[in-house]
Amino acid sequence: MVGLKVTTESEMHGTKRNKKIFYGDILAYLDTDEIVSLEMDETFHEREFKKSLSYLARAFSDQLEQGEDYMLAKKVISINLMEENYHLNNFQILNNYGFVNKFNYGRMKDEYLEMYLIRLDLVSKMVYNKLESRFLKWLEFIKARSVEEMEKIVKGDENMERALAFMERFVNDEEVRGIYDKINDVERDAKERGMAEGKAEGLAEGLIQGKTAGIIETAKNMLKKGFEPSKIADITNLSIEEINRLKQ
């Protein structure tokens, strides 16, 4: 043992919590009383695994306000869409991970953290039964590279057609487009500065800081225009607490 810290009088995470802001892709709250963190990665290596694990843990722990009972915490499921075999151990389209007893491989009854790795690169190679073909069809929809390709996939399926219509409304919303355009401008400027300096490490850091600064500036502008914190949180992915701090 190289050190010991008693945490009854202070927070376990210390000051590190204030140094990392997570920007996940999608966080869905289901009527089954579960929360789903959905991430898409073209490549999935150790960094992406740690990122997904961080989102999973944060989504679980951030459910509870100060003084709330742990029994109120809902199950959180991490779903990662990827195009390769991570650690050469994921041979199916759908690969499920959770808490397992390493001595007898028994699953924990109350499993509140769960992770799925879904391999999109296997979609075109697999043949499934009627029930599973619907799942396969959704994966083809997600993997599609153009709206035209999506339209062919969803044709005749009312639920999928509604999903495509919602997606088109979302990406064409002026408010959403304005935010993404601003973030892209910041990233492009940071990239140009980084390229001029000729430092890959400086470029990566500049992009991250630029994106964060752009999102925070957008949130500030939305506050000035009278947007509700909940609306700002939905669009920028900042937490209500972070938005209230900006408000002050």
CB 242 within 8 A of CB 62: no
- The pLDDT of residue 11 is 62
- Top mean pLDDT of 47-61, 174-188, 227-241 is at 47-61
| Tokens 């202070």 sit on residue | 10
Strands 34-40 and 26-29: antiparallel
Kindly give the residue spans of alpha helices, DSSP state H, lying in 62-173. 130-143, 147-154, 158-172
pTM above 0.95, yes or no: no
Q: How confident is the model at residue 204 (pLDDT cuts 50, 70, 90)?
A: very low
Give me the phi and psi of 107, to 5 degrees please. Answer: -85, 150
82-136 pLDDT, tens digit per residue, is 888 888 888 888 899 988 888 888 888 888 999 999 888 887 665 554 455 777 7
9-26 pLDDT, tens digit per residue, is 556 655 555 656 666 678
- The pLDDT of residue 76 is 93
- Average pLDDT along the chain: 76
- Top mean pLDDT of 24-38, 59-73, 115-129, 213-227 is at 59-73
132 or 68: whose pLDDT is higher? Answer: 68
